[in-house]
Amino acid sequence: MTVPEESQTIDLSIAELREVAGYAAACARPALAVFDRARPADRRPRDAVDAAQAFADGADRTAAIRDRAWAAHRAYQEARDAGQVAASEAARACVAAASAAFLHPLAKATQVLHILGAAAYAARAVELDAGDDRAVGADSIETARGLANPVVVRVLMRYPDAPGGRGRAGELLRTLDASLRQRGDHLPPGERASVSPTAREDAHRRFPQQPDSR
């Protein structure tokens, strides 16, 4: 397939964004059990996932989703600073879930984090919670692969491959990305990529920046 240039923007509908957000919420939700065991009084990650799911179910995309993403990001930082590594990764998954509603239509590899970041961080969270058992993380990624419907795969195929780096979570991200792209290779050519050379500034205006859980 033709790799989009970073100066291009990607055709992306609200209906597709809802599918992506619903997928991200479904991937992040299992990680809530990890977070809740460590920090049971903190609802910020759960609220972020619930906001993503509400958008997926038809609610408006409002500033409240962004606010909950930032709140979950603070929960991630606090868990990290307290040495609760599995819980912090679980919170990152929830940040990514809420941020999925604001996936930018820019042909940049980092945007793949908005689509698959929830799955990758959730897999890392359950992996760490199981004593850093990588088989557990691999199983979580396989579950996330099964949760991705054709709409999510088609959207993913419009973006460049997942970026490098980001440690073990990045490895899990790229494993899922490669697996879903193998599925996407069987889509009709016209459904694999859809880009238009519209202005980058317009894309930034329509899709404001979200918290970066890196």
Pick from 205, 109, 200, 204: nearest CA to 158? 109
Average pLDDT over residues 90-105: 97
- Please provide the distance, in angstroms rounded to a whole number, between the alpha carbons at the two ends of the chain: 29
pLDDT greater than 80 at residue 120: yes
pLDDT at site 7: 53
Cβ neighbour number for residue 10 with a 10 Å cutoff? 22
pTM: 0.85
pLDDT digits (tens, 9 = 90+) for 54-94: 999 999 999 999 999 999 999 999 999 999 999 999 999 99
pLDDT greater than 60 at residue 206: no
pLDDT greater than 90 at residue 25: yes
pLDDT at site 213: 47
Name the average pLDDT for the chain.
88
Average pLDDT over residues 28-36: 98
pLDDT digits (tens, 9 = 90+) for 148-188: 999 999 999 999 999 999 999 999 999 999 999 998 776 66
CA distances for 7 relative to 104, 183, 206, angstroms: 13, 26, 16
Calculate helix-pair angle for 112-129, 14-28, nearest 10 degrees: 10
CA distances for 70 relative to 66, 96, 147, 200, angstroms: 6, 10, 26, 24
- Alpha carbon 198 to chain centroid, angstroms: 24
